[in-house]
Structure 1
Amino acid sequence: MIVYLKTLGNDVTITPKKGSISLVRKHQFVLIKPATKIRIDLGFKLKDKPITDRFGTMCTHRVMIAEVSEVDNELKSWMQEAFEQSV
Protein backbone atom coordinates (compact mmCIF):
# COMPACT_ATOMS: atom_id res chain seq x y z
CA MET A 1 0.00 0.00 0.00
CA ILE A 2 2.78 2.47 0.84
CA VAL A 3 4.48 1.47 -2.41
CA TYR A 4 1.29 2.42 -4.27
CA LEU A 5 0.99 5.72 -2.40
CA LYS A 6 4.57 6.63 -3.32
CA THR A 7 3.73 6.14 -7.01
CA LEU A 8 1.19 8.97 -6.83
CA GLY A 9 3.94 11.57 -7.00
CA ASN A 10 7.55 12.28 -6.17
CA ASP A 11 6.46 14.88 -3.61
CA VAL A 12 4.93 12.33 -1.20
CA THR A 13 6.63 12.36 2.18
CA ILE A 14 6.24 9.43 4.58
CA THR A 15 6.35 10.61 8.18
CA PRO A 16 6.47 7.94 10.89
CA LYS A 17 4.97 9.05 14.19
CA LYS A 18 4.71 7.34 17.57
CA GLY A 19 1.48 5.46 16.80
CA SER A 20 0.90 6.08 13.10
CA ILE A 21 2.36 6.94 9.70
CA SER A 22 1.36 10.12 7.89
CA LEU A 23 1.59 10.57 4.14
CA VAL A 24 2.05 14.20 3.31
CA ARG A 25 2.21 16.24 0.18
CA LYS A 26 1.71 19.89 1.05
CA HIS A 27 -0.82 18.64 3.61
CA GLN A 28 -1.39 15.22 5.16
CA PHE A 29 -3.66 13.20 2.90
CA VAL A 30 -3.54 9.68 4.39
CA LEU A 31 -2.99 8.48 7.95
CA ILE A 32 -2.10 4.80 8.53
CA LYS A 33 -2.73 3.60 12.06
CA PRO A 34 -2.68 0.12 13.61
CA ALA A 35 -6.13 -0.66 15.01
CA THR A 36 -5.83 -4.27 16.19
CA LYS A 37 -3.32 -7.10 15.83
CA ILE A 38 -4.81 -7.98 12.44
CA ARG A 39 -6.18 -4.67 11.16
CA ILE A 40 -4.98 -1.21 10.19
CA ASP A 41 -7.11 1.88 9.68
CA LEU A 42 -6.55 4.36 6.89
CA GLY A 43 -7.73 7.90 7.47
CA PHE A 44 -8.32 10.24 4.53
CA LYS A 45 -8.87 13.95 4.23
CA LEU A 46 -11.42 14.30 1.44
CA LYS A 47 -13.45 17.42 0.79
CA ASP A 48 -17.08 17.12 -0.32
CA LYS A 49 -16.97 13.30 -0.38
CA PRO A 50 -19.99 11.54 1.12
CA ILE A 51 -19.40 8.98 3.86
CA THR A 52 -20.20 5.40 2.81
CA ASP A 53 -20.54 2.12 4.72
CA ARG A 54 -16.91 1.29 3.97
CA PHE A 55 -15.49 4.75 4.56
CA GLY A 56 -16.50 6.03 8.00
CA THR A 57 -15.11 8.99 9.93
CA MET A 58 -11.49 9.35 11.00
CA CYS A 59 -9.89 12.43 9.53
CA THR A 60 -12.90 12.88 7.24
CA HIS A 61 -13.07 9.24 6.11
CA ARG A 62 -11.77 5.90 7.41
CA VAL A 63 -11.38 2.42 6.00
CA MET A 64 -10.47 -0.65 8.03
CA ILE A 65 -8.09 -3.11 6.34
CA ALA A 66 -7.60 -6.65 7.62
CA GLU A 67 -6.26 -8.27 4.43
CA VAL A 68 -4.04 -7.14 1.58
CA SER A 69 -6.83 -7.98 -0.87
CA GLU A 70 -8.83 -5.08 0.57
CA VAL A 71 -6.37 -2.65 -1.04
CA ASP A 72 -8.45 -2.70 -4.20
CA ASN A 73 -9.15 -0.26 -7.04
CA GLU A 74 -11.85 1.54 -5.06
CA LEU A 75 -9.45 2.17 -2.18
CA LYS A 76 -6.67 3.22 -4.56
CA SER A 77 -9.00 5.73 -6.22
CA TRP A 78 -9.76 7.26 -2.80
CA MET A 79 -6.01 7.47 -2.07
CA GLN A 80 -5.49 9.15 -5.45
CA GLU A 81 -8.26 11.64 -4.75
CA ALA A 82 -6.89 12.47 -1.29
CA PHE A 83 -3.44 12.93 -2.85
CA GLU A 84 -4.81 15.31 -5.51
CA GLN A 85 -6.65 17.39 -2.88
CA SER A 86 -3.56 17.71 -0.67
CA VAL A 87 -1.98 20.61 -2.57
Structure 2
Amino acid sequence: MAKSPEEMANAMIANMKEKTGKTLDQWLTVAKKSGQEKHGQVVKFLKSEHGLTHGFANLVAHKFLQSDAASAEGGDDALVAAQYAGPKSDLKPIYEALIKAVRAFGKDVEIAPKKTYVSIRRNKQFALIQPSTKTRVDLGINLKSETAKGRLEKSGSFNAMVSHRVRLESPSDVNKDVKAWLKKAYAEA
Protein backbone atom coordinates (compact mmCIF):
# COMPACT_ATOMS: atom_id res chain seq x y z
CA MET A 1 0.00 0.00 0.00
CA ALA A 2 1.27 3.49 -0.89
CA LYS A 3 2.35 5.80 1.91
CA SER A 4 0.28 8.89 2.65
CA PRO A 5 1.89 12.29 1.98
CA GLU A 6 2.30 12.74 5.74
CA GLU A 7 4.10 9.38 6.06
CA MET A 8 6.37 10.26 3.13
CA ALA A 9 7.14 13.69 4.61
CA ASN A 10 7.89 12.15 8.02
CA ALA A 11 10.26 9.64 6.39
CA MET A 12 12.04 12.44 4.53
CA ILE A 13 12.35 14.47 7.73
CA ALA A 14 13.75 11.44 9.59
CA ASN A 15 16.40 10.96 6.86
CA MET A 16 17.07 14.65 6.17
CA LYS A 17 20.27 15.05 8.22
CA GLU A 18 21.78 11.91 6.69
CA LYS A 19 20.81 12.87 3.13
CA THR A 20 21.38 16.65 3.24
CA GLY A 21 23.75 17.27 6.14
CA LYS A 22 21.25 19.33 8.12
CA THR A 23 18.11 18.74 10.18
CA LEU A 24 14.76 20.25 9.24
CA ASP A 25 15.17 22.94 11.92
CA GLN A 26 18.57 23.88 10.48
CA TRP A 27 17.09 24.10 6.97
CA LEU A 28 14.22 26.23 8.29
CA THR A 29 16.82 28.66 9.66
CA VAL A 30 18.55 28.73 6.26
CA ALA A 31 15.20 29.40 4.54
CA LYS A 32 14.39 32.21 6.99
CA LYS A 33 17.79 33.86 6.46
CA SER A 34 17.30 33.71 2.67
CA GLY A 35 14.67 36.44 2.83
CA GLN A 36 12.51 34.56 0.31
CA GLU A 37 8.77 34.67 0.98
CA LYS A 38 7.21 32.62 -1.82
CA HIS A 39 7.25 28.85 -2.19
CA GLY A 40 8.91 28.79 -5.62
CA GLN A 41 11.56 31.28 -4.50
CA VAL A 42 12.44 29.22 -1.42
CA VAL A 43 12.65 26.01 -3.49
CA LYS A 44 14.82 27.68 -6.13
CA PHE A 45 17.12 29.16 -3.48
CA LEU A 46 17.59 25.86 -1.65
CA LYS A 47 18.25 23.96 -4.88
CA SER A 48 20.60 26.48 -6.49
CA GLU A 49 22.46 27.77 -3.43
CA HIS A 50 22.52 24.62 -1.29
CA GLY A 51 22.18 21.75 -3.77
CA LEU A 52 19.04 20.26 -2.26
CA THR A 53 17.03 17.91 -4.44
CA HIS A 54 13.60 19.18 -5.45
CA GLY A 55 11.86 16.86 -2.97
CA PHE A 56 13.79 18.11 0.06
CA ALA A 57 13.66 21.75 -1.07
CA ASN A 58 9.89 21.48 -1.61
CA LEU A 59 9.40 19.91 1.83
CA VAL A 60 11.48 22.60 3.56
CA ALA A 61 9.60 25.35 1.69
CA HIS A 62 6.22 23.91 2.74
CA LYS A 63 7.33 23.64 6.36
CA PHE A 64 8.90 27.11 6.33
CA LEU A 65 5.79 28.76 4.84
CA GLN A 66 3.44 26.45 6.78
CA SER A 67 1.60 25.74 3.53
CA ASP A 68 1.12 22.00 3.98
CA ALA A 69 -1.77 20.51 5.91
CA ALA A 70 0.45 19.09 8.63
CA SER A 71 1.98 22.52 9.36
CA ALA A 72 -1.18 24.58 9.20
CA GLU A 73 -2.94 25.18 12.48
CA GLY A 74 -6.17 23.21 12.39
CA GLY A 75 -4.98 20.92 9.58
CA ASP A 76 -6.97 20.10 6.44
CA ASP A 77 -10.27 21.59 7.57
CA ALA A 78 -8.65 24.91 8.45
CA LEU A 79 -6.91 25.11 5.05
CA VAL A 80 -10.17 24.54 3.16
CA ALA A 81 -12.07 26.94 5.43
CA ALA A 82 -9.47 29.65 4.77
CA GLN A 83 -9.73 29.13 1.00
CA TYR A 84 -13.49 29.68 1.08
CA ALA A 85 -13.59 32.47 3.66
CA GLY A 86 -14.93 35.97 3.09
CA PRO A 87 -15.80 36.89 -0.48
CA LYS A 88 -15.21 33.32 -1.71
CA SER A 89 -17.68 31.72 0.73
CA ASP A 90 -20.34 31.39 -2.00
CA LEU A 91 -17.99 29.05 -3.90
CA LYS A 92 -17.89 26.32 -1.23
CA PRO A 93 -20.87 24.38 -2.75
CA ILE A 94 -18.83 24.01 -5.99
CA TYR A 95 -15.96 22.53 -3.97
CA GLU A 96 -18.34 20.20 -2.15
CA ALA A 97 -19.88 18.99 -5.45
CA LEU A 98 -16.42 18.21 -6.81
CA ILE A 99 -15.37 16.36 -3.66
CA LYS A 100 -18.57 14.31 -3.73
CA ALA A 101 -17.89 13.38 -7.37
CA VAL A 102 -14.28 12.26 -6.83
CA ARG A 103 -15.03 10.34 -3.63
CA ALA A 104 -17.43 8.18 -5.66
CA PHE A 105 -14.48 6.89 -7.75
CA GLY A 106 -13.04 4.75 -4.96
CA LYS A 107 -11.52 4.56 -1.51
CA ASP A 108 -8.07 5.27 -2.94
CA VAL A 109 -8.90 8.92 -3.69
CA GLU A 110 -6.88 11.21 -1.45
CA ILE A 111 -8.00 14.77 -0.74
CA ALA A 112 -4.92 16.83 0.21
CA PRO A 113 -5.57 20.51 1.01
CA LYS A 114 -2.74 22.98 0.55
CA LYS A 115 -2.71 26.69 1.37
CA THR A 116 -4.35 27.92 -1.87
CA TYR A 117 -5.79 24.77 -3.48
CA VAL A 118 -6.79 21.18 -2.80
CA SER A 119 -4.86 18.38 -4.49
CA ILE A 120 -6.83 15.29 -5.56
CA ARG A 121 -4.61 12.22 -5.76
CA ARG A 122 -4.66 8.52 -6.42
CA ASN A 123 -1.18 7.16 -7.12
CA LYS A 124 -0.35 10.68 -8.28
CA GLN A 125 -2.23 13.96 -8.52
CA PHE A 126 -4.98 13.79 -11.11
CA ALA A 127 -6.82 17.02 -10.28
CA LEU A 128 -6.77 20.13 -8.14
CA ILE A 129 -9.45 22.54 -6.98
CA GLN A 130 -8.64 26.21 -6.53
CA PRO A 131 -10.96 29.12 -5.72
CA SER A 132 -9.28 31.55 -8.12
CA THR A 133 -11.61 34.56 -7.90
CA LYS A 134 -14.60 35.50 -5.76
CA THR A 135 -16.88 34.21 -8.55
CA ARG A 136 -14.98 31.19 -9.92
CA VAL A 137 -13.38 27.92 -8.92
CA ASP A 138 -10.76 26.55 -11.30
CA LEU A 139 -10.60 22.78 -11.63
CA GLY A 140 -7.23 21.58 -12.87
CA ILE A 141 -7.21 18.12 -14.44
CA ASN A 142 -4.33 15.92 -15.63
CA LEU A 143 -5.57 14.60 -18.97
CA LYS A 144 -2.58 14.67 -21.27
CA SER A 145 -4.38 12.33 -23.69
CA GLU A 146 -7.26 14.80 -24.20
CA THR A 147 -7.31 17.67 -26.67
CA ALA A 148 -8.43 20.97 -25.17
CA LYS A 149 -11.82 22.02 -26.50
CA GLY A 150 -14.83 23.91 -25.22
CA ARG A 151 -14.88 24.07 -21.41
CA LEU A 152 -11.83 21.78 -21.20
CA GLU A 153 -9.10 24.39 -21.75
CA LYS A 154 -5.32 24.00 -21.79
CA SER A 155 -4.06 24.87 -18.33
CA GLY A 156 -1.79 27.57 -19.72
CA SER A 157 -0.39 29.80 -16.99
CA PHE A 158 -3.05 28.63 -14.49
CA ASN A 159 -1.00 25.76 -13.03
CA ALA A 160 1.89 23.71 -14.40
CA MET A 161 0.88 20.66 -12.31
CA VAL A 162 -2.14 19.97 -14.54
CA SER A 163 -2.71 19.76 -18.28
CA HIS A 164 -6.21 21.28 -18.43
CA ARG A 165 -8.49 23.73 -16.62
CA VAL A 166 -12.26 23.93 -16.31
CA ARG A 167 -13.81 27.16 -14.99
CA LEU A 168 -16.72 26.59 -12.59
CA GLU A 169 -19.10 29.31 -11.39
CA SER A 170 -21.89 27.23 -9.83
CA PRO A 171 -22.45 23.70 -8.51
CA SER A 172 -24.46 22.91 -11.66
CA ASP A 173 -21.24 23.40 -13.66
CA VAL A 174 -20.04 20.12 -12.08
CA ASN A 175 -21.99 18.24 -14.77
CA LYS A 176 -21.60 14.90 -16.53
CA ASP A 177 -18.77 16.21 -18.76
CA VAL A 178 -16.74 17.43 -15.77
CA LYS A 179 -17.35 14.16 -13.92
CA ALA A 180 -16.32 12.16 -17.01
CA TRP A 181 -13.07 14.15 -17.36
CA LEU A 182 -12.32 13.62 -13.67
CA LYS A 183 -13.10 9.89 -13.92
CA LYS A 184 -10.75 9.53 -16.90
CA ALA A 185 -7.98 11.41 -15.09
CA TYR A 186 -8.53 9.19 -12.03
CA ALA A 187 -8.26 6.07 -14.21
CA GLU A 188 -4.98 7.36 -15.71
CA ALA A 189 -3.45 8.27 -12.32
| CA distances 1:15-73 after superposition (whole Å, capped 9, x unpaired) | 00010000000000011011111210000101221011211122111000001111110
Name the % identity: 37
Match of 2:106 in 1: 9
User: More helix per residue: 1 or 2?
Assistant: 2
Alignment RMSD: 0.8
Q: Compute the TM-score of the two structures, normalised by the length of structure 1.
A: 0.94
Question: Quick one: which of 33, 58, 65 aligns to 2:168?
Answer: 65
Match of 2:43 in 1: none
Match of 2:116 in 1: 19
Match of 1:46 in 2: 143
1:47 aligned counterpart, secondary structure? coil
5+ residue gaps, structure 1? none
Q: Choose between structure 1 and 2 for higher RCO, CA contacts under 8 A separated by at least 6 residues.
A: 1
Q: Which runs of 4+ in 1 moved over 2 A?
A: none
**Count of aligned pairs:** 86
1:28 maps onto 2:28 in alignment: no
Q: Distance in 2 between matches of 1:51 and 1:2?
A: 23
